[in-house]
Structure 1
Amino acid sequence: MNLFYNKEKVGDVAFLQIEPHEGPFSYETKGNVVEITADNKVVGYNVFKIADKVTITDNGHVKLTESIIDALQNAIVEAGFTQQLNADLSPKFVVGYVESKDKHPDADKLSVLTVDVATEKLQIVCGAPNVEAGQKVVIAKVGAVMPSGMVIKDAELRGVASSGMVCSMKELDLPNAPAEKGIMVLDDSYTVGQAFFEE
């Protein structure tokens, strides 16, 4: 679930994406809320005059909090819709430990990794030339929004499922990112599962 808001450029409207979807959408408006559906399921909401219900200081991609979720939920219900919001407020950029690295069965330059992020083990397909088992790395979990605006989602790369992304300094928009390709390898001061960015 992702929320976008830019009062200065767009106006006082919150754009809530429940799940990424491409293709035709249907819209239903009740009061200050537009419900967006696709394939007979709700994929998002546009909530107008959100500043009447909660203060949002972020500009662009908004970090979800319980108070923001509660305000959105109240606006949706007050408008007459029934959708219940189930937001995962856990950090989306975390430290992971690469437990294993196997060659992709159908792509020479891709590897299939098993990555421990403390709460679960993820299978991630990675094309970085410097990734190895035994490394601590930065993982963008499903639902993470990259600095570029790209949303990380479950995917299949050449027929192999991948849940998340191993990040480079450049992809994380960190200063002094090296020009050469490769993921960011962390030292032992980092703990598996910890949030990479301060919340």
Structure 2
Amino acid sequence: MIFAYNKEHVGDVLMVIVADDKGQENRVERKGNVSQVSVVESGQVVAWNIFDASTILGKIEGQGQVVLTEEQLAKVNEELVKAGFTETLVKENDPKIVIGFVKSCKKHPDSDHLSITQTEVDNGEVLQIVCGAPNIKAGQKVVVAKPGAMMPDGLMIWPGVLRGVESFGMICSAGELRLTDAPAIKGILELPFDAVVGEAFPINK
């Protein structure tokens, strides 16, 4: 679940993204200060918009992907009930952009530039991630955007399929992370080997 807020460019709206709509046609139902976004064909709820968010929640810290306090999340759920919806939103507390370790890396069988990695992201959890960076290799400490992450440019990370191979996240470059000292040369950001796997990687908002 992704909470996003950008008052300057979007207005005083808290956006809550709960699933990937995969480009399917959406239906929007608004009640009071809440709109529910669902896929027309399946009825799956993929997002919520909370209008007049700062009035309801108070000050929202950050820009882009934001973290709500428990009190703010409770107020969001109160607003859903007040508007007549029955769903309850549950916050995920685990970080989505983390330090990872590339355990293995092999060439994609149907691409001359993609690689298939098995990358540990926390406590033995390993994700298969397809990566197009020329400098990717086994044994690196890297930055991983897990499914459910929002990048600094607003890109949302979901599971996908690249040239017939499933991929569950993205191994990031310094440019994608909007680091101020990002090099012009393309390639993933390689971290010092003492970086701790599973720890959140701080990014600029």
What is the CA RMSD across the aligned residues, in angstroms? 1.9
* Separation in structure 1 between the aligned mates of residue 63 and residue 106 of structure 2, nearest angstrom: 40
* Separation in structure 1 between the aligned mates of residue 91 and residue 177 of structure 2, nearest angstrom: 23
Which secondary structure state, in structure 1, belongs to the residue aligned with residue 62 of structure 2? coil
Which residue of the partner structure matches residue 13 of structure 2? 13
* Separation in structure 2 between the aligned mates of residue 77 and residue 172 of structure 1, nearest angstrom: 37
Given that 2:17 and 2:48 are in contact with CA atoms closer than 8 Å, whether structure 1 keeps it comes out as yes
Count of residue pairs brought into register by the alignment: 199
Query: In the alignment, does 2:46 pair up with 1:46?
Result: no
TM-score by length of 1: 0.91
- Residues 116-163 of structure 1 show CA distances to partners (whole Å, capped at 9, x for unaligned) of 112410000011111111111111111111112111110100000000
Runs of 5+ consecutive residues of structure 2 not aligned to the other structure: none
**1:81-96 counterparts in 2 under 5 A?**
81-96=85-100
Of stretches 177-186 and 8-17 in structure 1, the one that deviates more from structure 2 is: 8-17
Which residue of the partner structure matches residue 166 of structure 1? 171
Given that 1:65 and 1:89 are in contact with CA atoms closer than 8 Å, whether structure 2 keeps it comes out as no
Query: In the alignment, does 2:133 pair up with 1:132?
Result: no
Q: What is the letter of the counterpart of residue 122 of structure 1? A: L
Identity %: 46
Of stretches 131-140 and 68-77 in structure 1, the one that deviates more from structure 2 is: 68-77
Q: What is the letter of the counterpart of residue 165 of structure 2? A: V
TM-score by length of 2: 0.88
Which residue of the partner structure matches residue 146 of structure 2? 141
Given that 2:133 and 2:186 are in contact with CA atoms closer than 8 Å, whether structure 1 keeps it comes out as yes
Of stretches 59-68 and 21-30 in structure 1, the one that deviates more from structure 2 is: 59-68
* Separation in structure 1 between the aligned mates of residue 68 and residue 168 of structure 2, nearest angstrom: 21
Instruction: Give the direction of change, closer, same or farther, for the CA distance of 1:184–1:69 in structure 2 (3 Å limit).
Output: same
* Separation in structure 2 between the aligned mates of residue 137 and residue 77 of structure 1, nearest angstrom: 42
* Separation in structure 1 between the aligned mates of residue 17 and residue 199 of structure 2, nearest angstrom: 26
Which residue of the partner structure matches residue 25 of structure 2? 24
Which secondary structure state, in structure 1, belongs to the residue aligned with residue 71 of structure 2? helix
Given that 2:64 and 2:152 are in contact with CA atoms closer than 8 Å, whether structure 1 keeps it comes out as no
